[in-house]
A = this chain, B = another copy of it.
Amino acid sequence: MEKLQSLYYILELAGTFAFAISGATAARKRNLDLFGICALAFTVACGGGIIRDLCIGAIPPAGLTNWRYLVVAIIATGLTVGLFSFVQRLNRPVLLFDAVGLSLFAVTGAQKALSYGHNGEVAILLGITTAVGGGVIRDILLNRVPVILEKEIYASAALLGSAIVVLGNYLKWGAGGWVAIIALIVCFTLRILALRFHWNLPTPASNKTNSDKKE
């Protein structure tokens, strides 16, 4: 079990790093300055978890007390600034680790909410929030409609992962251990398949004229 913990830990750092890279890259593309790039890397990596911790009463939020997140954000900033062409070539592994981060954040977010004694609905909603919150704040700061609201199976994968954790907890399978691993694998697989085969959720208004979009 201890080995599993170490594996978790390494995976979580890899996922956090992928999130930070996505923030730093988006910031660089919008011509933000050094501080802006680092702020966005940190926000994407920690934003979702901070909102979760505020909602479950875990004060102060882990994202603010744990120096590892800050170090990861600073490394991501350094790479994005110094080795941008290298980072751009990282696109595929980053998407992979981003899917790892998505799964881990959804599962651990739901687990943390349950461990604070909250109900299943809170756990699912905050599992999703942990996984996608940072990306939503990134898009708000960069002044665009959050990409997860428009297309792609991303938040839905997080929803599925969180729901499996809650279901496992409800049926007394234990929220940790095997249930968590199943939830991780399902969420990760769904996300990777969606990426591979360009699966999207239906967009109800997509068969309408574009002028509609302008409103």
Contact = CB atoms under 8 A, between A and B. Distances in A.
Interface stretch (A139-147, A165-173, A184-192): A139-147
Contacts of A200: 33
A205 interface: yes
Contact of A39 (B37, B149, B152): B149
A155 interface: yes
A126 B200 CA distance: 38
B145 A65 contact: no
Given A31-B206, A145-B141, A156-B35, A61 B65 contact: no
Binding site secondary structure of chain A: helix
A31 B150 contact: yes
A203 interface: yes
Given A60-B122, A61-B55, A121-B70, A33 B141 contact: no
Nearest to A81: B204
A196 interface: no
Given A144-B143, A155-B39, A149 B33 contact: yes
Interface of A: 27-37, 39-40, 50, 54-57, 59-61, 64-67, 70, 80-81, 84, 113, 118-119, 121-122, 125-126, 136, 140-146, 148-152, 155-156, 159, 200-206, 208, 212-213, 215
